[in-house]
Amino acid sequence: MDYLFLQVHVDEPRVSAGQPCGNILAGVGPFAVERGLVPTTDPVTEVRVRMVNTGALAVVSVPTEHGRPVYTGSTVISGVPGRGARIVTEFRDTAGSLASALLPTGNIVDSLPDGPRTQTTTLIDNGMPVVLMAAADFGLTGYESPAELESRPDLSKHIERLRLVAGDLMGLGDVSAMTVPKMCLTAPPRDGGDVCTRMFIPHRVHTGIGILAAVTVATAVAMRESTAVAMRGSGAGRTVRIEHPTGYLDVVVDLGAGRSAVVSTARPLLDGHVYPYEELPA
């Protein structure tokens, strides 16, 4: 399957194909089965997906029965209402999806100019360009709610200045009109995870964390000497648990194989036809 994600901007009349979306990706597999676009192999059908935005590949494993997707199950995802069938999405060769490389500068840690001082960061892209910074560097605990963080215009302006610098260093050019890189504030875990995150996407604060952003953050946690390692909990290993404002997300990272995987759920929301307006000839 080819999957092209288009981002509809809510504050301006613009549609962008500048980045992929890992959350919607989980629904591409069941959709392909529903529409008969792929042959099924009960009890699990693997759907290979090319993310057209970046060219990266993913394999979505969809529970199926009698050639149809199975949506009911006991899997719970933080921030998602209800329970559903377990859908595993494996990402392959996502390093440098939009930036120039997994570590665009060649460094695990970079110091960004920040007025009279410098800001310690990790600039990384394993499916989504992300800038990781310690929340404590901004006088924060890292456990603030999205509303609390968004109520600080001084903080938003500060992070945006750093984002513009980081975007250029990551090979993305002028990112002032782009939604990448995402800016991630990290803190020590407090609910049994490996790192606590607050993600600016880039100007609003996510109530959770995007799938591909989570893969990138988990990769940083799994790497030695990154800024996320200082936040790493004692339980970190190949499975990295990322805490976010509404719960957590587990990511399996295999640095050697260049692969990662997440567990999601999906269900049909609507089905119908859209009839665009056509100007009738005079």
Which of 251, 265, 1 shows the shortest CA–CA distance to 127? 251
pLDDT value at residue 162: 98
* Residue 275 burial class via C-beta count within 10 angstroms: exposed 0-12, middle 13-18, buried 19 and up: exposed
Torsion angles phi and psi, residue 30, rounded to 5: -60, -35
pLDDT value at residue 101: 95
- Residue 249: in which H helix or E strand, if any? strand 247-254
Cα–Cα distance for residue pair 43/47, rounded to 1 Å: 13
C-beta of residue 166 within 8 angstroms of C-beta of residue 122: no
pLDDT value at residue 92: 87
Domain with CATH 3.10.310.10 in the chain: 2-92, 110-255
Structural fold of domain 2-92: Diaminopimelate Epimerase; Chain A, domain 1 (3.10.310)
Residues recorded for the chain: 282
3.20.20.140, 3.40.50.720, 3.10.310.10, 3.20.20.220: CATH of 110-255: 3.10.310.10
pLDDT value at residue 32: 97
pLDDT value at residue 215: 96
Q: Which amino acid is at 265?
A: T
pLDDT value at residue 188: 96
For tokens 């960061």, what's the residue?
A: 121
Tell me the average confidence (pLDDT) per consecutive run of 10 residues in the chain, 282 residues long.
91 86 94 97 97 93 97 92 94 92 96 96 97 98 98 97 98 95 97 95 95 95 85 68 95 89 93 85 75
pLDDT value at residue 260: 93
Q: Count CA atoms within 13 Å of residue 277 on its CB side.
A: 1
pLDDT value at residue 235: 52
Cα–Cα distance for residue pair 13/100, rounded to 1 Å: 29
pLDDT value at residue 233: 65
